[in-house]
């Protein structure tokens, strides 16, 4: 196989759940799964074609968070940002496509001098972009911690620990919760203005109050609010409970007194195991928030230590990175569906001579 002719000159870093990263060098069909770039090698294989990378990883049992593409010398040298794209749950770059579509709504609004639409659509696009960037931060933090933990240690079946990377991981978890809450609220404002024709709501809670005061038959608006309904266990309600708990009660690492990063094992489809990092999210944040509002959770340090040492289960206490990636994909789907309610459809940016003021100077690098 002549990969030099068939492979684009792109270095791809595929960020996986648990902190692993799959590396594919430019013009090469070799894939190496490592704890980070130039980290401990966990697995390696070859792919038959450039597009086959993602299917090959998923067929082996890996779960993809997103991919960094490095395609220029400036990116290698650090004088230009690399390109990270969040992966959709079923593959593809749904967030990237949706972000571009909302930027094109911004362009259409600018051409029509529709300042209201320009403002809201611009904030939706920014919310998608910034959430994607924070997902990247969190994936890299997991990877750095996995690499540091396994530098001088063999993977264990299960091991709880803290290290110097732990605060950075918690920071990035909280940062992504916060960023997506901002995205949620601007999507709610869009629903209020362009689905309901109302100016009385700029947040999800404001949209709820508006609909409670004056119900509507609009399907899109009612569906949006239903996702945030605690009684029906809507996914947006669960997201909101986590965000509110960590904002108003205590940060994740203190919400139950003390917590740990966990290194456990992912079982691949061939039965082999690979190490991964696990940050458990609590099972019932509503109950935790109620209990913490009444005072300390524990009556003694011994009681707190006993709770900290109990075994966490991924089925009831999901991993933060996996959970937040899923939520971002769900917010992306909402943003994509709401494009149909925009009064102006996405308009690709086309620059003509009439748009150019003054001289254009091109500086080669």
pLDDT, residue 4, reads: 60
Residue 3: count of CB within 10 angstroms of its CB: 16
Is 101 within 8 Å of 339 (Cβ atoms)?
Answer: yes
Instruction: Map tokens 């009660």 to a residue.
Output: 249
Instruction: Map tokens 């030099």 to a residue.
Output: 4
Domain spans of the chain, in order of start:
9-86, 94-341
Of residues 108, 253, 98, the one with CA closest to residue 187: 98
- pTM for this predicted structure: 0.93
pLDDT, residue 62, reads: 97
Token pair belonging to 194: 């362009």
What is the SS3 assignment for 24?
strand
Between the CA of residue 327 and those of 134, 205, 241, 331, what are the distances in Å? 13, 19, 13, 6
DSSP annotation of 354 reads: G
pLDDT, residue 155, reads: 94
Which pLDDT tens digits describe the chain residue by residue (365 residues)? 555 667 888 999 999 999 999 999 998 999 999 998 778 999 999 999 999 999 999 999 999 999 999 998 888 888 899 999 999 999 999 999 999 999 999 999 999 999 999 999 999 999 999 999 999 999 999 999 999 999 888 999 999 999 999 999 999 999 999 999 999 999 999 999 999 999 999 999 999 999 999 999 999 999 999 999 988 889 999 999 999 999 998 899 988 877 889 999 999 999 999 999 999 999 888 888 888 888 887 878 887 777 777 788 898 999 999 999 999 999 999 999 999 999 999 988 777 777 777 777 776 65
């Amino acid at each position: 196989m002549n990969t030099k002719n068939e492979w684009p000159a792109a270095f791809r870093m595929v960020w996986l759940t648990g902190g692993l990263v799959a590396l594919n060098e430019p013009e090469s069909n070799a894939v190496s799964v490592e704890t980070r770039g130039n980290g401990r090698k966990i697995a390696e294989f070859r792919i038959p074609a450039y597009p086959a990378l993602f299917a090959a990883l998923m067929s082996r049992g890996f779960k993809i968070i997103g991919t960094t593409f490095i395609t220029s010398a400036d990116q290698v040298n650090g004088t230009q940002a690399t390109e990270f794209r969040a992966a959709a749950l079923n593959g593809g770059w749904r967030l990237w496509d949706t972000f571009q579509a909302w930027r094109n709504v911004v362009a259409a609004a600018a051409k029509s001098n529709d300042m209201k639409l320009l403002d809201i659509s611009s904030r939706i696009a920014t919310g998608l972009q910034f959430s994607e960037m924070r997902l990247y931060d969190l994936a890299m933090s997991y990877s750095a911690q996995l690499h540091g933990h396994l530098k001088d240690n063999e993977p264990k079946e299960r091991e709880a620990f803290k290290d110097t990377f732990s605060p950075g991981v918690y920071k990035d978890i909280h940062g992504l919760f916060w960023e997506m809450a901002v995205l949620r609220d601007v999507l709610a404002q869009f629903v209020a203005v362009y689905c309901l024709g109302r100016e009385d709501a700029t947040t999800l809670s404001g949209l709820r109050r508006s609909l409670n005061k004056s119900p509507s038959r609009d399907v899109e608006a009612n569906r949006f609010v239903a996702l945030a309904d605690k009684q029906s266990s809507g996914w947006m309600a669960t997201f909101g409970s986590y965000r509110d708990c960590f904002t108003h009660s205590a940060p994740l690492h203190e919400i139950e007194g003390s917590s740990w990063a966990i290194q456990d094992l992912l079982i691949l489809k061939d039965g082999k195991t690979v190490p991964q990092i696990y940050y458990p999210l609590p099972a019932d944040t509503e109950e935790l928030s109620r209990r913490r509002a009444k005072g300390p959770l524990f009556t003694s340090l011994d009681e707190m230590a006993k709770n900290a040492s109990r075994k966490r289960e991924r089925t009831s206490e999901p991993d933060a990175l996996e959970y937040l990636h899923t939520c971002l994909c769900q917010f992306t789907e909402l943003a994509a569906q709401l494009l149909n309610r925009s009064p102006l459809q996405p308009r690709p940016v086309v620059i003509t001579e009439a748009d150019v003021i003054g001289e254009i100077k091109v500086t080669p690098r």
